Amino acid sequence: MKVLKAGAAVATAVVLALTATACGGGDKKDGAGDTGASGGTKSDKIAIGIKFDQPGLGLKTPDGKFEGFDVDVATYVAKELGYQPDQIEWKQAVSAERENLISNGDVKFIAATYSINDKRKAKVDFAGPYFLAHQDLLVRADDSSITKVEDLNKKKLCSVTGSTSAQNVKKDLAPEADLQQLPGYSECLTGLENKAVDALTTDDSILAGYAAQEKNKGKFKLVGLKMSNENYGIGLKKGDKELQTKINTALKKMVADGSWDAAVKKNLGPANYKNEPAPQITEGS
C-alpha cells in the first residue's frame, strides 16, 4: 500500500507540473522585450513611451485615455508594425528618463517631443524626423507689444524650472528679460492669463497644444518666431536597424496618405498653428 501511495503521489506531482507548464509557458510578457519589430499576434502587446502632460501632443485625460499628435503618430506606426490600438501599452516618458526607458527595454520606441541631437544619439537611435518645431513665444491674444524676441527686455518671461529654452533667451537674445521659472507650463499659462507674466517660451508645438485646449481658445497667440530648430524623432534601441527602417517606412506612408497632415490639424490647428511641412527622413539613411 505504501508503494502504491508513493506512486500515486509522484503521478499527481507530474500532472500538476505539466498543467502549470501548459498554463504559463505560452504567456507573453506585456512589455517591449517580447514584441518583434515585424509586429505580433493578437495576444502580443507593444510598449510605447509618450508624454502624459502635453496637451495636443501627448496627454493622458482624466478618463484614462490618451490623445495628441505624438499619440496619433505612434498609433499609426504601431499599426504598420502589426499592432492594433488595444495592443498598445502607453508608458510615461519623462524627458530625463527617455534614454533609460529605451536602453532598459521598458519600451519599444518613444514618441514624446524627442528632439534629435548628437548627445542623445550617442545613447539611442532615432527614426524620422517626423516633425519640425521651433522655439517660440506665447503671449496674450490682445498683446501687440511683443513681436520680436528683443521686446522681452524689461518684461517677465516664464518657462518651466530647468528649461534650456528660457535660458537661451535670457543669455543670448533678451538679457534684460525678467525670467520667471515655475514648476509647469500650466502655472505659466495661469500667470500669462492673469498678467503676472508677459510671455511663455518653449517649442511652438507645445505652446500650440496648450493654446488649443478648449478652456484656452481665444486667450493666447503664438508670436511666430523661429528661435531654434527642433526635429522630433522616434527614439529606439541603439543598433536596431530593422525597427528603424520599418518606422521610417511607416512615417513616409503616414505623410503620403494624408494622415500626418490630418493629425496636425486635429491636434494643433485650433491654435492657428502654422506648422512646417513634414520633414525629410534623415535618420538611418
Domain boundaries, the chain: 46-133+230-271, 135-222
Mean pLDDT for 188-217 is 92
**Which CATH number among 3.40.190.10, 3.20.10.10, 3.40.50.12780, 3.50.30.30 corresponds to the domain 135-222?**
3.40.190.10
pLDDT of residue 271: 75
pLDDT above 50: residue 62: yes
Closest CA to 89 of 43, 52, 46: 46
Query: What's the confidence (pLDDT) of residue 20?
Result: 41
Q: Among 29-33, 104-108, 168-172, which stretch is predicted with the lowest mean pLDDT? A: 29-33
219-276 residue pLDDT tens: 999 999 999 899 999 999 999 999 999 999 999 999 999 999 999 999 988 777 889 9
Using the predicted structure, report yes or no on whether residue 204 has a pLDDT greater than 50. yes
DSSP H/E element including 275: none
Query: Is the pLDDT reported for residue 192 higher than 60?
Result: yes
DSSP letters, 79-138, are HHTT--GGGEEEEE--GGGHHHHHHTTS-SEE-SS-B--HHHHTT-EEEEEEEEE-EEEE
State the DSSP H helix or E strand holding residue 34, giving kind and residue range, or none if neither. none
Q: What is the per-residue pLDDT for 169? A: 87
Q: Encode pLDDT of 4-41 as tens digits.
A: 444 444 444 444 443 444 444 333 334 444 444 445 55
Please give the Cα distance from 284 to 126 (Å, whole number): 8
φ, ψ of residue 48 in degrees (nearest 5): -130, 135
pLDDT category of residue 185 using cuts at 50, 70 and 90? confident
46-133+230-271 belongs to CATH 3.40.960.10: no
pLDDT band at 183 (very low <50, low <70, confident <90, very high): confident
Is pTM beyond 0.85? Reply is no
Over residues 172-191, the mean pLDDT reads 90
The per-residue pLDDT for 64 is 95
Report the percent of the chain where pLDDT is more than 90: 68
Amino acid letter for position 33: G
DSSP state of 28: P
